[in-house]
Each structure stands twice: as structure tokens, then as C-alpha cells.
Amino acid sequence: MPALSKNPILLLAGTTASGKSRLALSLAERLGGEIVNADAIQVYADLRILSARPTPEDEARLPHHLYGFAPSDQAFSSGAWLERTIPLIHEIQDRGKTPILVGGTGLYFQCLTQGLAPLPKIPDPIREGLRARLETEGREALYQELRRVDPSLAARVPKSDSQRLLRGLEVAEATGKPLSLWQRETVAPSLKDSFVKAALLPPRESLYETCDKRVSEMLARGALEEARRIVARNLSPRLPVMKAIGMTALRAHFDGALSLEEARLRMALETRRYARRQTTWIRNQMADWTHIASLSLEERAAAIQKLCL
């Protein structure tokens, strides 16, 4: 690894409910850092509770960036995040501080460390048409189509990953060029500093217990009221805020299809499944990161602080 700059860029990934935000706060206080959000749902202004954003008290302890600024009636992309994040990292370093990027969105970290393919905008009719086909034809049919138009990408995309499956098909249809070829033309990031990369991977049993506890805490803090305010706006169901974990179950509760307890159980199951997908991503896509299984805040912070020296 090349020599680190005085203020390296610390990347802290991890599954949902793994304790990333708490650890980032501890590290920022130890290292003289500022925290930058790398979670695709925590960017939205109306989802503080359901996205498990840091509390207002934690945000007030030291600078937090890119949290809760995006309107809920828009879709905020990874490209837009990258455009904001790279200048912000330089600004933080110019202040003599350590940028600490924390979140659970693997694609954000991938764009930052590996670059972003220069993809053109996908026309809405193509995007909407493919989503309609997914609902009517199912994932298997679309996956077989992806194997025909972009076999290289299909070999890397699980059939269960609807988002990446649709992305591959919409790019191929809109541009006539497979996404895998676009990715080979990826523009490298402009950052010259070395990254310190750590990912939290708690043992599955303890992680699932934390997922269940988080859902109960969200409901106690007002997740029901937060979801009700968003649902009342009649936003498109395709928007990211409407796909946030818990929204579907709570909407079903509002419609009388689920009791509150049934909604809670469904939210807990969704959270566990999401944590499992994130675990798979980290193990497969972040194999060169330092993986930390310890549950102790002190042990985690000490291990990562050592990486930064």
C-alpha cells in the first residue's frame, strides 16, 4: 500500500444495524474527523427514523455531511453522490481533518474507489417498461434476457438482485451497448490519497438480534408517524423513499391489511434479509477491505485507528 497522507480517507462500511454510525462518531472524535454519509437512503430529508440516521444530538457533536438533504420526491443517484463527495473530501482534508465516509451502500463505495462508468441518462419509458416486465414476467425471464445481451454482467449478478438486473437491461436497451463494456471505460476517481478501508461484519446471530431491536426502537421513536406523513404525499411507489425498509409493511398496516405487530415482524424480517444481502456484498465485493467481526466499540475503534497510523 502506498504511504498514507497526513489525513487519510477512512471508509467505514458495514451491514445495517452493525453499529457503523456509533463507531464513526467515536473514530471522528479520536482522529479529528468529519463524517460523510455513504448510505443511499439516509440522504433523504423525510426518513430520519426509518433510515436510522444519526440522531440530532449526535450530528451536533461534530460535522456530519450529506445527511437528510435530498427531497423525497426525487431519486438521488450514485453519480450525484460522487459529484458531491469528492470535492467535500478535499474540503475536509484542507481543514486538516480526516474524512470518515460511513454507510451501507456498497455501490457508493465502489464508485468512489473504482470510478463511475460514464453512462447516459436512461429514458423514462425504457426504465418503466422494464419494471413493468419484471412484475409480469418475473426475474427469471429478465435474467435469461440479460444472459443474452450481456453475458459478462449476468455472470456477476445474482438472479435475486432485481436492481442490478434491471440496470443491465435498461443500459443495453437504451444504448445498444452492454453495461459491462461501459464499465470497462470507467473514469478513475480523481483522489490521489490512499483509502483506509474497513467493514463491519458482526456474527449473524448477534446481527439478527440487533436488527430486531432496531425495528422496535424505530417504532418507539415515531417510525409510524414518519411513514404516515410520507404515504400521505401520494408519491410514486418507484421512488427510493417508498422502497425503504419498513415502508411497505407500514403502508399495509395503514390500509388495514396488517396489524401493527404483524407489520413489526415483517419489518424485522426485511431488515434481516437486507443485512444478509449486505454481508454477501461485503464478502464478495470488498474482499480487500479489513473485515472486523468484534462487537466491542473499543476494540473496533482501536483496530481501525491502528490502520490509519
Q: How far apart are CA 7 and CA 186, in angstroms?
A: 27
Among 36-45, 50-59, 157-166, 236-245, which is the least confidently predicted range? 157-166
Q: What is the pLDDT of residue 186?
A: 61
If DSSP codes are grouped into helix, strand and coil, which group holds residue 101? strand
Q: How far apart are CA 264 and CA 292, in angstroms?
A: 29
Q: What is the pLDDT of residue 4?
A: 41
Q: What is the pLDDT of residue 65?
A: 98
Residue 257 has pLDDT above 70, yes or no: yes
Distance of CA 110 to the CA centre of its chain: 11
Distance of CA 251 to the CA centre of its chain: 22
Q: What is the pLDDT of residue 85?
A: 94
Q: What is the pLDDT of residue 238?
A: 84
Q: Which three cell numbers stand for residue 142?
A: 429478465
Which amino acid type is present at position 76? Answer: F
Q: Which three cell numbers stand for residue 180?
A: 459491462
The model's confidence at residue 1, banded by pLDDT at 50, 70 and 90, is: very low
Q: For the residues of 248-291, what is the DSSP string, one character each?
A: HHHHHHHTTSS-HHHHHHHHHHHHHHHHHHHHHHHHHH-TTSEE
Tell me the per-residue pLDDT of 130-181, one tens digit each, with 9 for 90 and over: 999 999 999 999 999 999 999 999 998 888 888 889 989 999 999 898 888 8
C-alpha count within 13 angstroms, C-beta hemisphere, residue 151: 1
**Domains, in order of start, for the chain:** 9-116+188-308 (3.40.50.300), 124-184 (1.10.20.140)
* Helical segments of the chain, H only: 20-31, 56-61, 78-94, 106-114, 124-137, 139-149, 151-154, 162-175, 179-184, 204-221, 223-231, 247-254, 260-285, 297-308
Mean predicted lDDT score pLDDT of the chain: 91
Tell me the per-residue pLDDT of 105-127, one tens digit each, with 9 for 90 and over: 998 998 898 877 677 788 889 98
Structure pTM?
A: 0.81
Q: What is the pLDDT of residue 2?
A: 37
Q: How far apart are CA 129 and CA 137, in angstroms?
A: 12
User: Is the Cα torsion angle 258, 241, 54, 300 positive or negative in sign?
Assistant: positive
Which amino acid type is present at position 31? Answer: L
What is residue 243's DSSP assignment?
G
